[in-house]
Structure 1
């Protein structure tokens, strides 16, 4: 069993076809089939179930897929670390970020990272911590680093405080909400709400705070994407509750109005695997996330947010080995 065979196996498992995998891998189909037979003989197990409908994994194949992903990520990380010692950061890096931070954090970080470290293959996923997507991606080794809403971390993960910000009521521009005028939970009760579909961490935080006071949101509509929620609010279909970062871009353009909800906060964490150390590229990304967040907060684009943990200086990234 070797690294190449594992990569071939995972490509077949993903596509469900040896023919299509051979095309993607730029290898002759008979040669790919021979590699898979060799892998099965080496492991003394049947990995692929072949039928007219395509390829599916046997129980042994499913077991190998989970292990192979972790093994290949570890292999790539070791290779990157060795290469990093002799030059600029290289290799691959996968991060998962919440959709609510697309404008304020995700795009500025991606743009800066690509400019600074062009030899790193960067993969970015927008994952919802509400359904544990980002948590599980890091836990399963499919992501190196993620930003998630605060929760009970898995034993295999390390979590570091990142940002704390208020949950806000967001309404149409003409609704007169103001970031200088916090609202009580009671002020939300009679407003028609365009809510994020469950499970959603921000919604859970607000509903939990209201339940403690025997209050309930007046849900008029449920939507499963932040973009559509904000579009509905902007069009005057109702109000919504989201973190500050979700609506800051529209607030700057005067498309919505927004007010913080008193004493209702959401905390964000940076998480990484406990056992696998970050590559140099991962360490630089971790610092860059903090740098960009600090710049957005201190520059007034992320109102009422607070950076938790250390505040990076402008030269922190450069000082990494």
Structure 2
């Protein structure tokens, strides 16, 4: 098993065609076919099946593709780390951003890293907290923002921000930041909710229990963008963190107010793996991300957020 075989395996799986994979790898088609067959003979199992839609990995093939992709990524990262210019931090860093924070943080983070550390290649992944935590545990992320997480045996969690959850409605509802809405009042409306199993949904359900309120769930979705679209279209109210609605409220497309009775908060942490060494590039990006968060909170662009981090430079 060698790197060429792994590249062939991953490329065929991604494009679904030996012919197209050969073009991308700058090889002739028989060479790619031979690499796949040699790998199958070594493993003793078929890795692909031919369908009308193209080459599709078998169950064993899917496992190998996943592992091969990670191995190739690690080799790429190692090459980037061991070829630095004197005094320059280099490397590939994959960062997880909560979907609700991406609009506020992604571009400033990319700009700061490109300006101050041009030898670092950033890769940004956005998702909900549960998915990001799984990717971090699997080794697909170097660091990630998560919420309502304490340190675990596999992850270090550094508290950064505590933020209020808001009830969000169409602009005509006239909700205001200076007039908190009791949870029971919000629950009297049909609600567009995060899907069951989502960490934000767990926070909302727990608050409903404390308020003694029964939720009228009109629709569930796993997309914050869809939540806001459905509210705008009049399908109900919703509950979101302030960072996810600041621009909508400022533009007047939605109205929002902090939840009260009870107040509902989430805590955002910076999570990093406990195992293995932390490359200098990852340390640099972690510091830049924390600094971006501090800048946004102190600048008032992160609604109802309070900093919890006392030392933005510690690692």
TM over 0.5: yes
Per-residue deviation, 1:94: 1.9
Output the CA distance in 1 between the equivalents of 2:220 and 2:126. 20
Q: What SS does structure 2 have at the residue aligned with 1:281?
A: helix
1:157 maps to which residue? 155
Query: What is the count of residue pairs matched by the alignment?
Result: 312
Q: Of 211, 216, 219, which aligns to 2:217? A: 219
Output the CA distance in 2 between the equivalents of 1:193 and 1:146. 29
| 1:148 corresponds to 2:146 | yes
Contact 2:194 2:222 in 1 (8 A): yes
Output the CA distance in 2 between the equivalents of 1:273 and 1:223. 30
Output the CA distance in 2 between the equivalents of 1:183 and 1:50. 57
Map 1:67-86 onto structure 2 (within 5 A).
67-84=67-84, 86=86
Q: What SS does structure 1 have at the residue aligned with 2:31?
A: helix
More displaced, 45-54 or 105-114?
45-54
| 1:114 corresponds to 2:114 | yes
| 1:259 corresponds to 2:257 | yes
Output the CA distance in 2 between the equivalents of 1:36 and 1:126. 33
Output the CA distance in 2 between the equivalents of 1:253 and 1:13. 44
Per-residue deviation, 1:142: 2.0
Per-residue deviation, 1:247: 0.5
Contact 1:167 1:202 in 2 (8 A): no
Per-residue deviation, 1:85: 6.4
1:233 maps to which residue? 231
Per-residue deviation, 1:61: 3.7
Root-mean-square deviation (Å): 2.8
Output the CA distance in 2 between the equivalents of 1:116 and 1:254. 36
Per-residue deviation, 1:58: 5.0
Q: Residues 271 and 211 from structure 1, CA distance in 2 versus in 1: closer, same or farther, beyond 3 angstroms?
A: same
Q: Using structure 2 for the length normalisation, give the TM-score.
A: 0.85
Q: What SS does structure 2 have at the residue aligned with 1:81?
A: helix
Q: Residues 192 and 81 from structure 1, CA distance in 2 versus in 1: closer, same or farther, beyond 3 angstroms?
A: same
Contact 2:232 2:253 in 1 (8 A): yes
Map 1:1-321 onto structure 2 (within 5 A).
1-40=1-40, 43-51=42-50, 53=52, 54-58=54-58, 60-84=60-84, 86-129=86-129, 132-151=130-149, 155-262=153-260, 263-312=263-312
Any unmatched runs of 5+ in structure 2? Answer: none
Contact 1:91 1:121 in 2 (8 A): yes
Q: What SS does structure 2 have at the residue aligned with 1:233?
A: helix
Q: Residues 103 and 50 from structure 1, CA distance in 2 versus in 1: closer, same or farther, beyond 3 angstroms?
A: closer
Contact 2:166 2:256 in 1 (8 A): yes
Per-residue deviation, 1:253: 2.3
Q: Using structure 1 for the length normalisation, give the TM-score.
A: 0.84
Output the CA distance in 1 between the equivalents of 2:23 and 2:253. 48
Any unmatched runs of 5+ in structure 1? Answer: none
Q: Residues 224 and 63 from structure 1, CA distance in 2 versus in 1: closer, same or farther, beyond 3 angstroms?
A: closer
